Amino acid sequence: MSETLDRPEVADEVVPAQPVSAVAEYTKTALALAELRQRLAGKVYALQTVAGDKEARADRLELVKLRSSLESKRKELKAPALERSRLIDAEAKRIEGEILALEGPIDKQIKADEARREEERAARAAAEAARVDALRKRIEYLRGIAPRAAGKPAAEVAAKIAMVEGITIGPDFAEFQSEAQDVHAQVLEQLRDMHAATVAQESEAARVKAESERLARVDHFGRKLMELRSLSVGMGSRSAAAIRVALDTLRTLAIDAEGWAEFAPQAEEARTAVLAELSQMLEAAETREAIAAQQAHEAQRLAAQKAEQDRVAAEQRAAELKRQQEDDARLAEADRAATEFAARVMAAAESDRLESMAAFNRIHLVNAEDVDTEGQGSQQVLKAEPSTAEATDRDAPADASPLVGAMGAGQAAAAAPVVECGHAPSAFAEDIAALSAEARASRFPSQPKMEPSWWVRFYALADRMGGVA
């Protein structure tokens, strides 16, 4: 027992009322618990101190020990009770088994009879439900005849009417006889209305179909007639052979009542008209092709003629070109030779002129002071130098002669003494000098391009000089 329970009582303490337990054996434990409750309830420990921590642990241990002693006492007190309880249960079970042994056969008989009665009741309920369901199905089948006949041909609707009229609504419908009779009458009425409407619809449909077929036939043969009439369309520009093929095809085309029905006369009339048109087109095509053939032949002839003319013209152009090239070559050669000859002639003329002037100066050299020629300006003594613009006085008249002065209108250049030289006769010196002066006065003196008149004079001079030579 705990230390608290062993503590002696103090006479002067106020002792509270002793707690009492419903189990007498637990009274001592209850007293110890009351004392601990009084001492420990609400107590706060200073656990942050060693003494406080030790005190709290001691009080907890005391409570644990009290709880453990209570559990031990419980087990001690309950052990005999548990054995008694097991004995009570075992004996009750044994006695119950003997009772069930007697009760079982009786209960089995009772439950078997109850099951029989339940099966009979269920069988009667099932038979009743089946009877009612069968009658309901008959009525529903009768009710659904009209909806199922909707959209059917009039013959099928009439068959449904006959079938419904053959159904007899008798006592076999039991409590549903009245309902079945009402449904029977309603279905007959619906079927008769449906039959009348179907007959009208089928009659209208037949009329519409017949009209549609008639229009289709009219459209079909109308298109065939249009095709037949259009066989000549565009054939006017085709060849005669193609038109003959079309004529042969059209003549062999079968037009009869089997293929054309009531449109056969129109088809025959259309064929006759098309045959006439094609015949006219054939005649025109043959004429056109004959003309085209003639034109083609003429075109070939003209083409051949033109080709020959072109060939001859080409040969002539080639010959003319060749001749022109040869003439150009000859002219070029003549120009080259003439240029060389002119150069030699002008060089000889210049040499003759210089030699003549030198001889003149030697023979007639006089003092410039004794020379007084009336009507003339001062004139320099001619020197044997090249004939340039600076070699003569610019005041000398253009028609002055170095020998006799100014020449009269009728004075010939040959009046001057003829000085023979080793090149060309001095009689041609004046003409050569004139031609040379014109050449030097040209735009390009080193390579002069002279006018045709100059060359005429030049070739004439050359011929004259050649004759003298």
pLDDT, tens digit only, all 469 positions of the chain? 444 444 444 434 444 555 567 888 888 888 988 998 999 888 898 999 999 899 999 989 989 998 999 899 888 888 888 888 888 898 899 888 888 888 889 899 899 999 999 999 999 999 999 999 998 998 999 899 989 988 889 899 999 889 988 888 889 888 888 988 899 999 999 999 999 999 999 899 999 989 898 888 888 878 877 877 777 788 778 888 988 888 888 787 777 777 787 787 888 888 888 888 889 888 898 898 899 999 998 899 899 998 989 989 998 999 999 888 887 887 777 767 767 776 776 777 677 678 767 765 665 554 444 444 444 444 443 344 444 433 333 343 333 333 333 333 333 333 333 333 344 445 677 888 888 888 777 766 666 677 888 888 888 888 887 765 4
- Tokens linked to 77: 């007190």
Residue pair 221/260 in contact (Cβ under 8 Å)? The answer is: yes
- Number of residues in the chain: 469
From residue 406, how far is each of 121, 295, 373, 387, 398 by CA, in Å?
187, 86, 10, 19, 9
What does the alpha-carbon distance between residue 425 and residue 455 come to, in Å, rounded to a whole number? 20
Phi, psi of 400 (to 5 degrees): -75, 145
Q: Global pTM?
A: 0.32
Residue pair 412/347 in contact (Cβ under 8 Å)? The answer is: no
Q: Where are the domains of the chain?
A: 24-123, 127-216, 231-304, 336-366+380-468
Q: What is the pLDDT of residue 398?
A: 38
372 backbone φψ class: left, alpha, beta (φ>0; ψ -120 to 50): beta
- Tokens linked to 457: 């004079």
Q: Which residues pair with 405 in a beta bridge?
A: 401
- Tokens linked to 383: 């020197």
What does the alpha-carbon distance between residue 257 and residue 66 come to, in Å, rounded to a whole number? 134
First to last CA, the chain: 193
What does the alpha-carbon distance between residue 124 and residue 223 come to, in Å, rounded to a whole number? 79
From residue 187, how far is each of 163, 250, 278, 422, 439 by CA, in Å?
11, 65, 71, 163, 143
What does the alpha-carbon distance between residue 121 and residue 116 come to, in Å, rounded to a whole number? 9
Distance of CA 148 to the CA centre of its chain: 56
Of residues 274, 278, 263, 262, the one with CA closest to residue 228: 274
- Tokens linked to 275: 């045959």
What does the alpha-carbon distance between residue 346 and residue 349 come to, in Å, rounded to a whole number? 5
Phi, psi of 406 (to 5 degrees): -70, 135
* Cβ neighbour number for residue 442 with a 10 Å cutoff: 14
* DSSP summary character for residue 19: P
Helix axes 50-149, 177-229, angle to 10 degrees: 70
